[in-house]
Amino acid sequence: MKRAVIFEAGRAGLVDAPMPSPKEDWALVKILATPMCTEYKRFVTGPGLEYMGHEAAGEVVEVAQPCKVKPGDRVVVMPHYPCGKCDLCVAGDFIHCENSYDFAGFTGSREGSSTYAQYMLKPSWLLPVVPDDVSIDMASLALCALGPSFSAFYTMGVNAFDTVLICGAGPVGLGAIVNACYLGARVIVMEGNSWRSERARLLGADVILNPGNPNNLEAIKHLTHGKGVDKALDCSGVLAAQRFCLDAVRRKGHVTFVGESTQELPVTVSPDLIRKGISLSGAWHYNLSLFPLIMQVIQNSLVVRHLISHTLPMSQVQQAFEISASRQCAKIILKPWE
Ligand SMILES: [Zn+2]
Ligand SMILES: [Zn+2]
């Protein structure tokens, strides 16, 4: 089979790789869509990378024993290799599992762990089946494009009475706009990149603020009768934007972070949490029970298709990485068989 690799900074291409084979309750999935995510960062900085990616959708082609899927099933491939047995896994919060499989230790090699490939392996319980009327490319949006923000909004109870601030309109933030609009909220977006601001507007953002403007807090107050937004979601991972979410949210508001950062966010217990009464949370992926709801967003949203800006053959992975690194894009879908 073919697998895409980063050879070194700025150079990617395909290699021939051995076919992985399933064991126990794992399935072999023929990958038909690979949404690109943060891998471009490694493409820019190097060093090379042999196995990469965590987002895929495709068709089950082989199982080792009767399990939760069968050959022919069209599935979304959930990220990671969680144990499936701990309390978190059983509850559907597998992304937080602390006992994940050692992939190579279990299967005998790392082959089958990459989504930038024609085939991969996955425990069958992490392969939710795609409804017949949803294409594989659209189904693949039920990973980082729509997943983290859907989980955040579900936790925060976002609805049509809310004004929601979304900081950062990369692929995750753009997906957040789709979800917030689907839930009926008024959406304020903070984004400086003009390509992404334009796409944010196309997806339904009501107001777009430029992070370089020093008067953004006043603008938010003006838009919310002096109160602040009801809920805020940071998709940027930028410290200033994370702090802006805390300042822009109203008293008793809720802030959720999905943009990753290792920088320390200054939060004061008394003014921010006790006196202002705000709730803080983080969202990484989503509880497995939310999969049918995310499928409904994909089935019913009138704008969700605009989350995919490029669809490219995996044989053009070099060009795809260059587009991804340019940030002139929403979600890019690689087609491993083209
Ligand atoms: Zn587990
Ligand atoms: Zn991702």
Tokens of 280: 């803080």
pLDDT tens digits, one per residue of 79-121: 999 999 999 999 999 999 999 999 999 999 999 999 999 999 9
CB 163 within 8 A of CB 224: yes
The number of residues in the chain equals 338
CA–CA separation, 38 and 7 (whole Å): 17
Give residues whose Cβ lies within 5 Å of ion ligand 1: 82-83, 86, 89, 97, 99
Instruction: Please give the distance, rounded to the nearest whole angstrom, from the Cα atom of residue 145 to the centre of ligand 2.
Output: 7
Q: What is the pLDDT of residue 53?
A: 98
The confidence score (pLDDT) of residue 265 equals 95
Distance CA 77, CA 181 (A): 26
Residue 13 forms beta bridges with which residues? 5
Ligand 1 centroid from CA 136, angstroms: 27
Residue list, CB under 5 A from ion ligand 2:
37, 55, 144
CA distances from 178 to 75, 133, 204, 297 (A): 22, 19, 7, 8
pLDDT for position 124: 98
State residue 248's pLDDT score: 98
Give 259-311 pLDDT, tens digit per residue. Answer: 999 999 999 999 999 999 999 999 999 999 999 999 999 999 999 999 999 99
pLDDT of residue 48: 97
C-alpha of residue 86 to centroid of ligand 1, in Å: 4
Give the per-residue pLDDT at 6.
Answer: 98
Report the pLDDT value the prediction gives residue 117, as an integer from 0 to 100.
98
Residue 90 Cα to ligand 1 midpoint, Å, equals 7
The pLDDT assigned to 26 comes to 98
The whole-number pLDDT of residue 57 equals 98
All residue ranges of the chain with pLDDT < 70 are none
Q: Using CA atoms, how far apart are residues 231 and 253, in angstroms rounded to an integer? A: 6
- Cα(287) to centroid(ligand 1), Å: 13
Residue 146 Cα to ligand 2 midpoint, Å, equals 10
Domains of the chain: 2-143+304-335 (3.90.180.10), 147-282 (3.40.50.720)
Taking the CA of 36 as reference, the closest ligand is: 2
